[in-house]
Amino acid sequence: MKYTIGIDLGGTNIAAGLVDEENRLLAKTSVPTHAQRPWREIGKDMAALAKALLHQEGIDDSQVTSIGVGSPGTPDSKQGVVLFSGNLGWDRVPVAKELSRLTGKPVFLANDANCAALAEGKVGAGKGLSSLVLVTFGTGIGAGILLNGRIYEGFNFGAGEFGHMVICSGEEPCTCGRRGCWEAYASMTALVRQAKRTAREHPRSVLSRLAHSGEGLNGRNVFEAAKGGDAAAKGVVDRFLQYVSDGVVNVINILQPQAVLIGGALANEGEYVLSPVRKTAERDAFCRNNVLPRICCAALGNDAGILGAALLGR
């Protein structure tokens, strides 16, 4: 039996998993990233995680054919170099070369969202499809694109930044420096910001009570308040889901993939999110009298990045 190792490199944690020939995730482990450290120290931790997995599962090093790494930012997959990652504070870091030196294995590199899309296309919610877009809604908005069964990166490895397409020109500031980006309206960070504004305007609402509680406002309890009938929360969530829907329609109109998968924290809300997004797409997408892409939740959760990274060398 041959195996590959997938590493999901994040700004908070480094997660690694052992994957067999049938694309099954057999074991996984993680350590904090401590991203402020020199990159070579992070490389040593990635190598140590890979070796720990083999020891844990009693697998000989010779059975591992390759290691894949999914990184935030803009990785040059051909050269194995992270050109830039704000989350890690990296500029032109030769990840693949360093990790290969430490492990003696071929190392493949790709963007973390692209890795997740690859996994969903091979073994997840998009299995059997040749084209899909995975959009992850969390602190920001990330996306991975599969075309003809392969990751689409663009000529400069930067494709898929749908979070930074403008949907409300000149309005909310975005972390990228522009105003009105989709991420500034439809990320979970944006939802909480919108909820805080509304809580101040409606001091008797459940939102206001949550805002002044020890827990504070977060994406989960804003949705719970809306489902529970709080008018202020429902207004926030309905408006937020319209922003989500508008962006999904743009994705459909640009690429017309077979499926758009909703991932990240937003996927936890299931049909409560999917139903209004589908209704907007049916009304607004440029697919009239034609087949509308499937709109559904991603299936692999936090394992998608590990699995997709492991698949890079296959």
Write out the two tokens for 13.
Answer: 């944690």
Bridge-based pairing state of the strands 141-147 and 150-151:
antiparallel
3-111+305-311 placed in CATH 3.30.420.40: yes
- 146: closest CA among 306, 274, 303, 298? 298
User: What pLDDT was estimated at residue 287?
Assistant: 85
Radius of gyration of the chain (CA): 20
Q: How far is residue 3's CA from residue 273's CA, in Å, rounded to a whole number?
A: 37
User: What pLDDT was estimated at residue 201?
Assistant: 97
Query: Mind listing the pLDDT tens digit for each residue in 17-51?
Result: 999 999 999 999 999 999 999 999 999 999 999 99
Query: Mind listing the pLDDT tens digit for each residue in 169-191?
Result: 999 999 889 999 999 999 999 99
Residue 126 near residue 120 (C-beta atoms within 8 A) = yes
CATH 3.30.420.40 domain position(s) in the chain: 3-111+305-311, 125-298
User: What pLDDT was estimated at residue 146?
Assistant: 97
- How far lies 27's CA from each of 23, 56, 111, 114, 306, in Å? 12, 9, 22, 22, 11
Element housing 123 (H / E): helix 112-123
Q: Which fold has domain 125-298?
A: Nucleotidyltransferase; domain 5 (3.30.420)
Read off the DSSP letter of residue 153.
-
| pTM for this predicted structure | 0.93
User: What pLDDT was estimated at residue 310?
Assistant: 98
Q: How many CA atoms lie within 13 A of 58 on its CB side?
A: 0
Q: How far is residue 100's CA from residue 127's CA, in Å, rounded to a whole number?
A: 30
**Mean pLDDT per segment of 10 residues, for the chain of length 314 residues?**
96 95 95 95 97 94 97 95 92 97 98 96 96 95 95 95 96 94 97 97 96 94 98 98 98 97 96 98 91 96 96 92
